[in-house]
Structure 1
Amino acid sequence: MGLGSGLLLFLKFALGGILIGAILGYLFSQLIRIYDDYPLEIAFSMLLFFGSFFIAEHFHVSGVIAVVVAGLIFGNYGAKIGMSETTKMNINSFWDVVTLIANSLIFLMIGIEIKNIDFTDKWYMIIAAIVIVLAGRTIALYASVHFIKGFSRSWKAILNWGGLKGSLSIALALSLPPSFEGREDVLVLTFSVVLFSLLVQGLTIKPLVMKLGLSEKQKNV
């Protein structure tokens, strides 16, 4: 498969997931305008997320991306037009618990997947992947906030270093079919980038905040 074919397949996979998630997220947002019953609305949200995934997978596009897009629309647009404060509180509490369980299961699954993979000849790839991700994050962030006036260099540094990766990246990697030729490499690189993000970036973000004096500024405000 050439670069052009691979790019086209990626666009189909991603854009298809976005389209399905957006349509279902919008439809369910309109649906909850009719009801004011938080247990029913929680059930609708479950139906939306599971339905988005399986419908997207049926059409051979990204189920994970479909769920993310559906959740963004339902949790923002849907909450604004169709949820009472009671519903928002209960639905957020419910999905907070589900998220905790799902994160635990995802990390358990990636551990099972990579335990039999030999890392011996992959260290250069892992280091390169971490550097590329950090560089990409830096370029994207600094380019996007370049024209914002009054945005301090300290806060740019914090936002850049605080771009932690987690279960979503791993879920996307795990969603690759076993027949995909480079699946093992993708799993290893994704796990390594996430591990670096959580252990190195996650554990050093507080010292960085202290070093830049941002905590002192907050106290003085």
Structure 2
Amino acid sequence: MIRGDMMWQVGLVTAAMLAATDPISVVALFKEFTVSKRLGIIIEGESLINDGIAVVLFGVVVKITAESLGLTIPTLDGQGGNVQTLHVLGEFLREVFLGTAVGVAVGLAMSYLTSKVNDHLIEVALTAIAAYGSNVAAMQLHASGVIAVVVCGMMVGNVGAKHGMSPTTREAVFSFWEFAAFMANSFVFILIGLEIRLSGLWADAGLIVAFFVIMILVRSVTVFGVHNLVRREDLRLKKPWLPVITWSGLRGSLSMVMAMMLLVSATTIAEKNFEYANMAAKEAEASAKKIADDSSQKQEEKDVAAKAAADKRKAADTAKAKLTQVQADEETSPAKARRDTILNIVFGVVLLSILLQSTTIEWLMKRVGLIVETREEIEYEMALARRQAIRCLVDNLEDAERKGTLSHGTFEILHDRLVERREANDKRIAEMLEHTPTLNELELQMHATQLRALEKQVYRDLEKEGDLDYESMESLVRDVLERNRPSNG
């Protein structure tokens, strides 16, 4: 136990929530600095697999601890009960493997459909249907909806996108889901902000720091331990990668979503009881009214129906009173206090992870040599930026002189100064290129990327104006992408 009054079940549920990683900022950093592709796949792949496994594990742990903590999640209907080890293991495996099967089936089916359609709007809609459909299908089969959606996305991204989508459709699909992920993350942080009280975070600051430190230590032991167990050199991770993999395990929105799913069992059960009792009362009252309006029914039968309806309504009123009492007592209940503690710990750890890990990962990557930026490269980038700035200043000055808002004498003085700066900067660039010819690749890559984007946009504009048919536009865009592939390899 980390704190004397904290139940071990609270630690277990919290650990299950924090098992999910969210290294999106790290992966973006890898793409920016062209870090090893294998390292990026390892970290991103871990996150994909972890998300589904963490959600299933969270559900199992909540079921195990529901009775002792008084907490539940919506899918458990407010009940935990006694569970057996083999039953829990079997349920865990069923959810994982059945969810995977559902995701593969739906993903391949949607990939086939996208190959038969050539409209980017319809194909974007199909990917949304695939995500929702795989989740619903998995939940109906009592499998993991999250794992089904993750696997479905992998199928669509690796099969449908490569073999059934045009370049324009791929960009539309990726842009749509990138925006959807951004919006979902934003809403999660807003909702958790409404739930959390700063005073609660401060009160549980010790627990938050303890969980964060333990989380990093456990991850470090796992990463370095697995590395030492692997004997084949071609499978072993490079040593500079190990601290980066350890520090890149950021926690994010999924952990907070799971924390917000926690409900007080007593309230959930009372709500269910009232819902069922109220529904039964309405059905009995409707049946009694139907019998009362039927002239062929005997008075005795009408009285029995009326009494049954009255009993059902009385039971519903009792259930409502019980619900009201439970809701009134919830704020001071031990279960509510445990839920608040879990929310504070999870949100605090996520906050620490974002503030510490995401802001220092670049420094760590430079420290271990994964990002190598020489002094010459930095100076060359600054010289290119300076050249661009001087050109803008000269253009602005000449425009002011043409409009008559600047006297000719002042223009000459300022223009001469800028020309001197431009010549000195151009001379410095030439010297750096003569000393290190490879520096020209920086400028070449930057302008080549801009030109490729401009070329694709021109083809799309021509297609919109009716000067180019859709198939020809797609073929030209595909040619632009194909020309780019050798330079990336």
Q: Aligning the two structures, in what range does the TM-score lie when normalised by the shorter sequence? A: 0.7 to 0.9
Corresponding position of 2:100: 18
Corresponding position of 2:370: 214
- Shift of the alpha carbon at 1:72? 1.8
Q: In the aligned structure 2, how far is the partner of 1:95 from the partner of 1:120?
A: 36
Equivalent position amino acid for 1:192 in 2 = G
Which of 361, 368, 372 is residue 205 of structure 1 equivalent to? Answer: 361
Matched, 1:35 2:121: no
Corresponding position of 1:44: 126
Q: In the aligned structure 2, how far is the partner of 1:9 from the partner of 1:125?
A: 31
State the secondary structure of the residue aligned to 1:71. Answer: helix
After superposing the two structures, state which structure 1 stretch, 67-76 or 105-114, moved more.
Answer: 105-114
CA 1:140–1:210: 2 relative to 1, 3 Å: same
Corresponding position of 1:194: 350
CA 1:166–1:32: 2 relative to 1, 3 Å: same
Corresponding position of 2:190: 108
Equivalent position amino acid for 1:168 in 2 = L
- Shift of the alpha carbon at 1:202? 0.8
Does structure 1 conserve the Cα–Cα contact (< 8 Å) formed by 2:114 and 2:123?
yes
CA 1:38–1:200: 2 relative to 1, 3 Å: same
After superposing the two structures, state which structure 1 stretch, 127-136 or 173-182, moved more.
Answer: 173-182
Equivalent position amino acid for 1:99 in 2 = A
Q: Deviations over 1:133-174 (max 9, x none)?
A: 324433443426844448532222122212222223333444
Equivalent position amino acid for 1:198 in 2 = I
Q: In the aligned structure 1, how far is the partner of 2:343 from the partner of 2:159?
A: 34
Equivalent position amino acid for 1:166 in 2 = G
State the secondary structure of the residue aligned to 1:215. Answer: coil
State the secondary structure of the residue aligned to 2:250. Answer: coil
Does structure 2 conserve the Cα–Cα contact (< 8 Å) formed by 1:16 and 1:61?
yes
Equivalent position amino acid for 1:29 in 2 = S
Bigger radius of gyration, 1 or 2? 2
Q: In the aligned structure 1, how far is the partner of 2:199 from the partner of 2:149?
A: 29
The CA RMSD over aligned residues, in Å, is: 3.5
Which of 54, 62, 85 is residue 144 of structure 2 equivalent to? Answer: 62
| TM-score, structure 1 normalization | 0.78
Stretches of structure 1 that go unaligned for 5 or more consecutive residues are none
Which of 154, 176, 188 is residue 240 of structure 2 equivalent to? Answer: 154
Q: In the aligned structure 2, how far is the partner of 1:199 from the partner of 1:210?
A: 19
| TM-score, structure 2 normalization | 0.39
- Shift of the alpha carbon at 1:74? 1.3
Does structure 2 conserve the Cα–Cα contact (< 8 Å) formed by 1:64 and 1:172?
no
Corresponding position of 1:168: 254
Corresponding position of 2:74: none
Does structure 1 conserve the Cα–Cα contact (< 8 Å) formed by 2:95 and 2:143?
yes
Stretches of structure 2 that go unaligned for 5 or more consecutive residues are 1-81, 269-334, 378-435, 439-489
Does structure 1 conserve the Cα–Cα contact (< 8 Å) formed by 2:134 and 2:149?
yes
